[in-house]
Amino acid sequence: MATEIRQSIDPKTGLPINLRVERGETQKDVNTSALKELVKRIDTQKQFRAIDLPCGSGGFLKYIRTIFPLASLSGADIVKPTNAPEGTKCYQMDLTKDFDLPESEKYDLITSISGIMMFGNTQNFIENCARRLDKGGLLVITNDNASTIIDRLAFLFLGRHRQFPLVFEDNQGITQNIPIQELIRLLRANNFEIDKVEYTAFYKKDLKYLPFIILFAPFQYLYIKTIKTAIKKDVMKQMFGLKQYLCKHYIVYAIKN
């Protein structure tokens, strides 16, 4: 029987008091927001199987290991991870193609932190995640939000989104602008239920754009009221609330049906 491991927990965050969560290879607050939600959903003493795709240097996996010490962890990236927590199964693979994993490998949790903007063929990636998650499993995907007020103004006047140039050079690294509407569609088409949408990475300096938000927001609100959709009303509110205008990153929590 596995030994139970207890940690001192911060009552405000639900995270271990001694855990310092770095920004890492994503926007600020993204790792912290995702981890806070995970501790609300999963008992820290539970044994479960998780994989991070792509896992980069393994930073997010280290946080999962610290918070969920009994979890069985895996990670994969285009370059085989070399800095993942001890005991992690590490795979080297191209995530735009079918996952090169043992057929028996199934998971209760799949995380993808700022990964889908790094490669194309998002549809195939979501399909593969669906195959690898057990029923009731949780998929957590985070991505840059290209619908902030800054992005909307940049597109209106310059024809570009803020984080993407107008034209791509041959060696451009981040080219995949995946709007939240497209990600939600792909998830629903692959038998996922959208459980929660969260926006994070807010900068107080962006409040200077508040007059433009006041101008734009009523039009979008009225337009959304005319849309008939199978998406739950609370999910629609989360997708198109005021935070969408100011937060630079979104997180989608989806349950495999």
Angstrom distances, CA of residue 236 to CA of 140, 184, 210, 227: 18, 10, 22, 10
Amino acid of residue 193: E
Residues whose CB is less than 8 angstroms from the CB of residue 149 and which lie 6 or more positions away in sequence, other chains included: 206, 209, 212, 213, 216, 245, 246
CA separation for the pair 80, 90 (Å, rounded) = 7
Whole-model pTM?
0.93
Please name each of the domains of the chain with its CATH number: 30-256 (3.40.50.150)
CA separation for the pair 67, 61 (Å, rounded) = 10
DSSP conformation letters of 181-200: HHHHHHHHHTTEEEEEEEEE
Question: Closest Cα to residue 58, out of 16, 98, 111?
Answer: 111
Q: What is the pLDDT of residue 209?
A: 97
Angstrom distances, CA of residue 196 to CA of 111, 173, 210, 237: 14, 29, 25, 10
CA separation for the pair 69, 143 (Å, rounded) = 27
Q: What is the pLDDT along the chain (257 residues), one digit of tens a residue?
A: 445 556 788 887 889 888 889 999 899 999 999 999 999 999 999 999 999 999 998 999 999 999 999 999 999 999 988 889 999 999 999 999 999 998 889 999 999 999 998 888 899 999 999 999 999 999 999 999 999 999 999 999 999 888 788 888 888 777 788 999 999 999 999 999 999 999 999 999 999 999 999 999 999 999 999 999 999 999 999 999 999 999 999 999 999 99
